[in-house]
Amino acid sequence: TELAEIINGKAFSANLRAQIAAEVAGLPYQPGLAVVLVGDDPASKVYVANKAKQTVEVGMASFEHKLPAETTQEDLLALVRRLNADPKVHGILVQLPLPKHLNADEVIAAISPDKDVDGLTVVNAGRLAAGLPGLVPCTPLGCILLLEDRLPDMTGLNAVVVGRSNLVGKPIAQLLLQKNCTVTMAHSRTKDLPALCRTADILVAAVGQPEMVKGDWIKPGATVIDVGINRVPGAVEGKTKLVGDVAYQEAAAVAGLITPVPGGVGPMTIACLLRNTLTAAKRLEGR
Ligand code: NDP
C-alpha cells in the first residue's frame, strides 16, 4: 500500500523556534514569559521545565513562579496582577490543572488578554471568533501552521474537526473557517461519525480516545491532523507508549498527509507558546 507523507512537527517546530530566536535577537528589548506553577504535580513540573528551557534557548527571559500547593486564591490572583503590571513580562501562563481548592476560571480571567499567551481568556476567544487580532491557543495555532505549510490554499476544502473543547476543537474550527474551509464540528453526539469523517479533505482529531479514528473513516488522499496524546499499555508489560486519536498505521495507508504521534502536533505547542510571546511583546512594546 501507498503510505501517506508524514508531516514532521518536530522538524517544523525546531525551524519555527530558530526563526523566533533570529527575530528576538534583532529586537531592542527582550521578550519575557512568566510561567506560574502551583503545587508539585510531576507532569506539570516537566512541562514547565521544558517551557522554561525553550524560552531561554530562543533568547527570551523566563520568569518561573513556583508556589506551594496550599497557595490561596487571593495570593495567586495578586501574583497574576503583579505580572500584568510588570513591563518585563509580555506573556503569562498559568500551568493547569490547578490544585482543587483554586478556581482556575477566575485566575484565567485575571490575566491581561494582551499577555494571555495560552489564548484562554474569554476576550481572546471572542477576538478569534470575530476575526480580530488576538492570541490564539497554542495547540490550534500549531495545527494551522502545519496545515498552511502543506496546503497553502485551503479554500473550499471540507474540514471536519472531531472534538469541540474550548482549548482545542473550537479554536481549530475557527482557524479553518478563516482559511475558507467548509467546517463541520463533530463531537460525542454526532450521528454516523465515520461517514462524516469520510467527507473530510482535512480531518482533525482532538478527542482524547486512543486510536478511535480508523483507516476506513478517511477519504483517500485526505490530510489528517492528530491532536490526541494518549498513554496506553505498551508491548512490554509495565511499559506505556503514546498513541494519538487516529489509528496511525491504517490511516497512513489511506491519507495523503498525516501527523504522527509523537512528533506531529505535540512539539508545535511550546513553539507556538514562544511565537505568541513574541507576538504579545511586539504589540505591547509597539504601543
Ligand atoms: P476534551 O476532553 O476537553 O474534549 C474532547 C472532545 O472530544 C469533546 O468535545 C468530546 O465531545 C469529544 N469526544 C469524546 N469522545 C468522543 C467520541 N467517542 N466520539 C466523538 N467525539 C468524542 O479534550 P481536549 O480537547 O482538551 O483534548 C483532546 C485531545 O488532544 C486529548 O487527547 C489531549 O491529550 C490532546 N491534547 C494535545 C495537546 C498537544 O498536542 N500539545 C494539547 C491539548 C490537548 P463532547 O463535547 O460531546 O463531550
95 near 120, Cβ under 8 Å?
no
The complex scores an ipTM of 0.98
Give yes or no for a contact between 184 and 160, defined as CB atoms under 8 angstroms apart.
yes
Q: At what angle do helices 268-285 and 138-150 cross, to 10 degrees?
A: 100
Distance 139 CA to ligand 1 centre (A): 12
Q: How far is the CA of 208 from the centre of ligand 1 (A)?
A: 4
What is the tens place of the pLDDT at every residue in 183-227? Answer: 999 999 999 999 999 999 999 999 999 999 999 999 999 999 999
- 149 has catalytic annotation: no
Domain tally, the chain:
2
- CA diameter of the chain: 59
Distance CA(93)–CA(37), nearest Å, equals 9
* For ligand 1, mutation pick of 191, 229, 243, 261 (most atoms within 8 Å of CB): 229
Q: What is the CATH number of the domain that holds 54?
A: 3.40.50.10860
**Does residue 282 lie in a domain region?**
no
Shared-domain flag, residues 158 and 50: no
Residues above pLDDT 70, as percent of the chain: 99
Q: What is the mean pLDDT of residues 153-167?
A: 98
Is residue 51 among the annotated active site residues? yes
Residue 208 lies in a domain: yes
Query: Residues with beta carbon inside 6 Å of ligand 1?
Result: 139, 162-165, 167-169, 186-190, 193, 206-209, 212, 227-230, 245, 265-266, 269
Strand order in the sheet with 202-205: 5-6, 257-258, 223-226, 202-205, 158-162, 182-186
Co-location of 98 and 202 in the same domain: no
Determine contact, residues 252/3, Cβ cutoff 8 Å.
Answer: yes
Q: Is residue 172 assigned to a domain?
A: yes
Q: Look up the domain containing 193 and give its range.
A: 137-266
Q: Is the pTM of this model over 0.90?
A: yes
Confidence bin at 1 (pLDDT 50/70/90):
low
Segment 82-98, tens digit of pLDDT: 999 999 999 999 999 99
Residue 123 resides in a domain: no
pLDDT digits (tens, 9 = 90+) for 126-141: 999 999 999 999 999 9
59 in a structural domain: yes
Residue 225 lies in a domain: yes
Distance from Cα 213 to the centre of ligand 1, integer Å: 13
Residue nearest to atom 22 of ligand 1 (CA): 188
Q: CATH number, domain at 202?
A: 3.40.50.720
For residue 285, tell me if it sits in a domain: no
CA of 22 to the centre of ligand 1 (A): 35
89 and 165 in a single domain? The answer is no
Same domain membership, residue 144 and residue 96: no
**What is the residue with the minimal CA distance to atom 41 of ligand 1?**
266
How far is residue 129 from each of residues 77, 135, 139, measured CA to CA in Å?
27, 12, 17
90 & 152 share domain: no
Pair (81, 157) in one structural domain: no
Binding residue ranges for NADP(+): 163-165, 229
29-53: average pLDDT: 96
Given the C-alpha cell 476506513, which residue does it identify? Answer: 216
For every residue of 136-182, which 3-state class applies, written as one string? CCHHHHHHHHHHHHHCCCCCCCEEEEECCCCCCHHHHHHHHHHCCCE
Amino acid identity for residue 157 in this structure: L
Q: Is the Cα torsion angle 54, 55, 56, 62 positive or negative in sign?
A: negative
54, 115, 116, 118: which one is catalytic? 118
Q: Hey, what's the cell of 196?
A: 462524516
pLDDT at 287: 81
Q: What is the mean pLDDT of residues 252-265?
A: 98
What average pLDDT does the structure give for the chain? Answer: 97
- Catalytic option among 95, 174, 219, 226: 95
Q: Which residue positions form the known binding site?
A: 163-165, 229
Q: Do residues 98 and 191 share a domain?
A: no
Ligand 1 centre to CA of 93 (Å) is 21
Tell me 113's DSSP state.
Answer: G
Q: Is 245 a catalytic residue?
A: no
Which of the listed residues 187, 197, 213, 217 should we mutate to test ligand 1's pocket, taking the one with most ligand atoms within 8 A of CB?
A: 187
Residue 281 has pLDDT above 80, yes or no: yes
